[in-house]
Chains A and B, each alone.
Chain A
Amino acid sequence: MKNLARRVVFSLATFIALAVVSFVGVDALPGDGCTALLGRFGTDAKIDACRKENNLNDSVVVRLKDWSGDLVRGDLGYSIKRDEQVSEIIIPRLRNTAVMAAVAALIAFPSAIVVGLLLGRYPRKLISKAVNQFSVIAMTLPEFVIATVLWLVLSIWIPIFPGVSVMPSNASLLQLLPNVWLPALTLAVVIFAHSMRTMRASVTNVQNMPFVESARLRGTNERKMIKRHIVPAALPPVVNVVALDGAWLLTGTFVTEAAFNFQGLGRLAIDAISDRDTALILPIILFGLAVYLVSSILADSLVRVFDPRLRSSNR
């Protein structure tokens, strides 16, 4: 418990430090919200007027104070370029990405763990080699290639799913669903291989440990072997991968969302960066950091459930 509290505090401190660094860093980039809004049409006078209106001429420190004050109160800021509150831009897209991430996770993780277990335990069959080759290929190909291939196969050649979507970001859940499948499937393929291979390697590793043979030589049957001895010992590395890839599903999916024009957080990030919309970029970065830190803590806590050696500090 003490350890957990310490980690949370440390992560909070890291988050704050990184938030400040990000603010200053993004601020240092050429241009600001006003140049983004006015673009090529901005004369010096217009830009100046815009800046005065939006308090952009204050010093970095003052702006940092204002911004962090707003943040703590829940106000994510205002995008000059889009003339909208940042929270209203981000939240619907966050929901879309979350739905896509959830679908991808539900498709990929359970199947990866089961397949990994089976391949690790019964490696000689032909199907094992086939799945292995497939997973190496899936793991090595870049996201945009997988997205394009799936699109080719499942939208053009065999028209099951709609391809590049044209739905608005705040579409209802029902309208969202048909557009979720291809991106979610792409993401599922990308992360399936990683979890599956980790589980398989872990199971193979655990099987060679003395305690597995020791249990077998005591007369433990196969079902009990898998359930009580092998799976719990094999899960810790997989938990780490699931946490890492799970965090990635929420924060790193730009390429897939771009490929399918899916109106999620990733698509927004790319647009914001292309638009130089600093007010939007910052909250997205912070969200990514927060997700990463939280998933780290969750992963470590979960691993302790499976490995008693990490729990207490005796011996």
Chain B
Amino acid sequence: MITTLTQSQILGFSNVTVRIKNEARDSRPILEAIGLQLERGETLGIVGGSGSGKSTLLRLAAGVLTPGLVLDQGEVTTVGKNLLVATPAERSNIYGSVVALVAQSIGESLTPHLTVLSHFRDTVSGEAVDERVLESLAEVGLGGEKYPYRYPHQLSGGERQRVLLALALVRSPQLLLLDEPTSALDVSIGSEVLTTIDRLQRSRGFALVCVSHDLGVVSQISKRIAVMNQGRIVELGQTSQVLRSPSHEYTKALVSSIPKLDQRIRESSSQSNETVLVCRGLGIVRGQTTRAIDSLDLEIKQGEVVGIIGESGSGKSSLLAAICGLIPLTSGSLKNGDGYDLSTALHLRPSKILSSIQMVFQNPDDSLNPARTVEQSLSRYTHATKTQICEALNSVGLGEEFLSRRPREMSGGEKQRAAIARALLANPQLLLLDEVTSALDVTVQAAVLTTLADLQRTRNMSIIIVSHDIALVASFADKIIVLRNGKLIEQGSVSAITKSPADSYTQHLMMLSAQRSLT
């Protein structure tokens, strides 16, 4: 059954429900009653948190169903065919030439032992292969003679994503499917990649479906948007319409959760004049030669919240690690408010000093010992009593039932809250937060930040919050520090920095942020 070119619908889902194999009828399906149509040349974005089913939906469009899942009802038609029942040979013919899927590339999506050019040779043959490849690469912004002969490990994240794009588009497919195209990239790099995708879509006219957890990403390249929650499409419509006046509860929560530069999550507090941390000329060298931090000066007062903005390679994580004593400084001085030298090794510090600085890490899956219950993890080194633990859990919004839970039974947000509670039990003067919400859905992020704001107020803690998201930092902190390649670019109050950023790098970050939060 060959599709006729006159048919304008290129992708269709009719009442599709997908479940886990052999699961009970009444459990929640992965996808429920999905219905949507896409015309030729149209662009559609799909937004949702983790567990919303968006990736499964995208892969269904390519005729791929994860083993272990089963199509309970409904039909998926891609370019007129039902790809789920096609033979491997038929699918092989369609992939790349008619439909292309660029999967989420958290790991290696490019074959490590093949050059860029060799990747193209999989599917492109004939006389002028090399020229076609050069053309394709130039179109995605990788012009020049050197790229075809590079190996994947010699390319940066952004370059790899562009190569994947070129590979997908080289045979001019009619439908391009993108799964989280920028999640693994820095904000500025990601933005450039999105611009390229947008340009290519306008010039070549293929249909595009883009899946992301990030509303800003999706809104940049798609005219229509579908919002997904728990396996259902809760809202579907023109992007501008949905963003300006969302109708569904979930969409409203999603839109309002996105940090915006001019919207405070936390009110600035008045600070005392007592200092909590003093850094002079701080330098950190990692490995043999990498200068992670280059001569930094920093002062934090009691009750002050300092936000550090930096992309990858800025040295932000190294800075936090040095402040709490996990890695040594190579130069400069680091003292607390009473003059105690914080470059002393951890095992030499008295316990009062140790507990005065605590840190919460980025990855919720790594923060808690998988072999322990929450109660055990929280009490082991703090020696807190059960009552104290319950209090701490309550203050982060977790009930008593979490005492006996193990990490594998908890969601990302719950694990982060438990990690925060554990840090609080040590009663710190200074709390370090290293991208603690980056791995969480944006709605969960908003809730955790609200909790943190309350905690800061009631305990008058000093906080250093590190993020790549300038809007998040601007809505939470009192003072902002911008880091780039280990150097302090700019420092000042939130209003000063956001209203009139002095450095061009800061201005660039502000512009990107404005783009993404749709203001």
Contact = CB atoms under 8 A, between A and B. Distances in A.
B112 A308 contact: yes
- Which of B62, B94, B111, B167 gathers most chain A CB within 10 Å? B111
A224 interface: yes
Contacts of B171: 219
Contacts of B151: 308-309
Contacts of A209: 107-108
Interface string B431-443: 0000000000000
A220 B153 contact: no
Interface in B106-133: 106-114, 118-119, 122-123
Interface residues of A, number: 24
B110 A217 contact: no
Nearest to B64: A217
B168 A213 contact: no
Contact of B112 (A211, A218, A315): A211
A219 B123 contact: yes
B103 interface: yes
Name the residue in A210, A216, A219, A221 with the highest tally of chain B Cβ atoms < 10 Å from its Cβ: A219
Scoring B94, B106, B109 by chain A CB atoms within 10 A of each residue's CB, the highest score goes to B109
Nearest to B62: A217
B129 to A, nearest CB: 14
Interface in A204-228: 209-211, 213-222, 224, 228
Interface of B: 62, 64, 88-89, 92-97, 100-103, 105-114, 118-119, 122-123, 151, 153-154, 164, 167-168, 171
Q: Name the prevailing secondary structure of the B interface residues.
A: loop
Interface of A: 209-211, 213-222, 224, 228-229, 232-233, 306-309, 314-315
B96 A211 contact: no
Given A211-B110, A219-B95, A233-B113, 14 more contacts: A210-B106, A210-B107, A211-B109, A211-B111, A214-B102, A214-B105, A215-B122, A217-B96, A219-B92, A219-B93, A219-B96, A222-B88, A228-B122, A309-B151
A217 B101 contact: yes
B94 A219 contact: yes
Contacts of A213: 103
A303 to B, nearest CB: 11
A220 B92 contact: yes
14 contacts: A210-B107, A214-B103, A214-B110, A215-B111, A215-B122, A217-B62, A217-B96, A217-B100, A219-B96, A219-B122, A219-B171, A228-B111, A228-B118, A308-B112
A217 B114 contact: no
A218 B96 contact: yes
A217 B112 contact: no
A174 to B, nearest CB: 44
A272 to B, nearest CB: 46
B114 A229 contact: yes
A302 to B, nearest CB: 13
A237 to B, nearest CB: 14
Q: Which 7 A-B pairs have the closest CB atoms?
A: A219-B96, A219-B95, A220-B122, A214-B109, A211-B111, A218-B96, A210-B109
Contacts, number: 79
A232 B115 CA distance: 13
A238 to B, nearest CB: 14
B123 A233 contact: no
A294 to B, nearest CB: 25
B114 A228 contact: yes
A221 to B, nearest CB: 5
Given A219-B123, A220-B122, A315-B153, A306 B100 contact: no
B96 A233 contact: no
A314 B150 CA distance: 11
A220 B102 CA distance: 14
A221 B108 CA distance: 20
Contacts of A228: 111, 114, 118, 122
A145 to B, nearest CB: 39
Instruction: Kindly name the residue among B96, B100, B151, B168 whose own CB sees the greatest number of chain A CB atoms within 10 A.
Output: B151
Nearest to A225: B122
A217 B153 contact: no
Contacts of B168: 218
Contacts of A219: 92-97, 122-123, 171
Given A216-B95, A222-B88, A308 B113 contact: yes
A216 to B, nearest CB: 7
Contacts of B110: 211, 214
Contact of A218 (B64, B105, B107, B167): B167
Nearest to A222: B88
B177 to A, nearest CB: 9
A210 B123 CA distance: 18
B153 to A, nearest CB: 5
Contacts of A224: 122
B150 to A, nearest CB: 10
A221 B100 CA distance: 15
A186 to B, nearest CB: 36
